[in-house]
Amino acid sequence: MAEKTERVLMKGNEAIAEAAIRAGCRHYFGYPITPQTEIAAYMAKKMPKTGGVFLQAESEIASINMVYGAAAAGMRVMTSSSSPGISLKSEGLSYIAGSDVPAFVVNVQRGGPGLGGIQPSQSDYFQATKGGGHGDYRMIVLAPASVQEMASLTVKGFNLADKYLMTTMILADGTIGQMMEPITFEDVQVEAYDKPWALTGTKGQRKHNIVNSLYLKSDELERKNFERYARYKVVEENEVLYEEYGMEDAEICVVAFGIAARVAKNAVAAARKEGVKAGLIRPITLWPFPKKVLRQAADQVKAFVSVELNMGQMIEDVRLATECRKPVSLCNRAGGMIPSPGQVLDSIREAQKGVC
């Protein structure tokens, strides 16, 4: 038998940490919070052995500003947290966006709002895809649905951040963070980008660089915004990722990401067994959102069902992408609860009934 790449059993959180190190990240700044603390724990153990820096900051706000600093110096740098912690980091995320430096941030979501709970949730969809911090900016938002994707999207996330000078956020949830699945690290492809803008010291050889988000002249600030959005447009055109399942002949299209998509996949398979032609579109990039494939699906299917662990957030993007040409219903749980495949199946059946 040919030699196989070894499969190892890892928690999703650990997979992110290991993948980040393999992607060349040598700076981790964080502050503990359930359910993502394994990332920090793994980094604390492994990062010093790679010659890198693990630092538990005094707060979330401190840690995101350390990320800002290391990113400005051209380093591959990351932080991780869970929902309330990401709120605290949001000011820093806005500054990082306004300074056009690459950063990698992980949100292993828990139920909210407020301190909420510690069980899995997807209720930071709006925060991740529409802003969170102030000002006009975007982040590339990646939504893994398996431990393997926690690793592969981490590597991709660092590459995209450097490529587009943006923050890439992994938007995971407590389930994917805590669960273990076998993974391999065979597909780690680190892309290297020149960073002539980085604050590395002039050594008397070049003009000094400035990394800054303050532009008091309105016309200059406007120009910066337009330049940034031209870059975002390229991301929207080139970096959309999604998975389709059973969509070839689907009449009901389920849309779900992350752990919700895993549950939805079971429900789609069950629906097909009883003769309902269901399919699944799983956005992997939440921003840029896979608008085109959804718009095309609207020509084919009779109805959409958005499955989410929140009160209905992504459903707005589904309606926008499909231009409300077909009915879109919501199948959801919130506060740390997860819909069962049975609940999703019921929603598929109802959608089918509604359009028959």
Partner 1 sequence: MKTTQILIAGFGGQGILFAGKFLAYKGLLEELQVSWLPSYGPEMRGGTANCNVILSDDPVGSPIITDPDVLIVMNLPSLQKYVDSVVSGGQIYVDSTLISEKVTREDVEVFYIPATQMANDAGVPTLANMVMMGHVLKNNPELTFDGTEATVSKLVPPIKAQLVELNMKALQAGRDYQG
Residue 174 binds partner 1, judged by CB under 8 A = yes
Cα gap 193→267, rounded to integer Å: 42
Residue 41 binds partner 1, judged by CB under 8 A = no
> Which residue, 79 or 82, is less far from partner 1 as judged by CB?
82
Among 115, 180, 320, 324, binds partner 1 (CB under 8 A): 180
Spatial contact of 197 and 171, defined as CB atoms under 8 Å apart: no
Residue 263 binds partner 1, judged by CB under 8 A = yes
Residue 5 binds partner 1, judged by CB under 8 A = no
Q: Measuring CA to CA, which residue among 115, 129, 40 is closest to residue 83? A: 115
CB of 184 to partner 1, least distance (A): 12
> Which residue, 79 or 175, is less far from partner 1 as judged by CB?
175
Which of these ranges, 63-71, 161-169, 217-225, 265-273, lies near partner 1 under the rule CB under 8 A?
265-273
Q: Measuring CA to CA, which residue among 74, 86, 90 is closest to residue 27? A: 74
Task: State the binding string over 84-123 for partner 1 (x if CB under 8 A, else -).
Answer: ----------------------------------xx----
Among 9, 190, 234, 355, binds partner 1 (CB under 8 A): 9
> Which residue, 147 or 153, is less far from partner 1 as judged by CB?
147
CB of 107 to partner 1, least distance (A): 17
Among 50, 56, 178, 296, binds partner 1 (CB under 8 A): 178
Cα gap 18→11, rounded to integer Å: 11
Among 44, 53, 69, 181, binds partner 1 (CB under 8 A): 181
Residue 45 binds partner 1, judged by CB under 8 A = no
Among 262, 282, 326, 333, binds partner 1 (CB under 8 A): 262
Q: Which residues contribute to the site for partner 1 (CB under 8 A)?
A: 7, 9, 34-35, 118-119, 174-175, 178-182, 259, 262-263, 265-266, 269, 338, 340-342
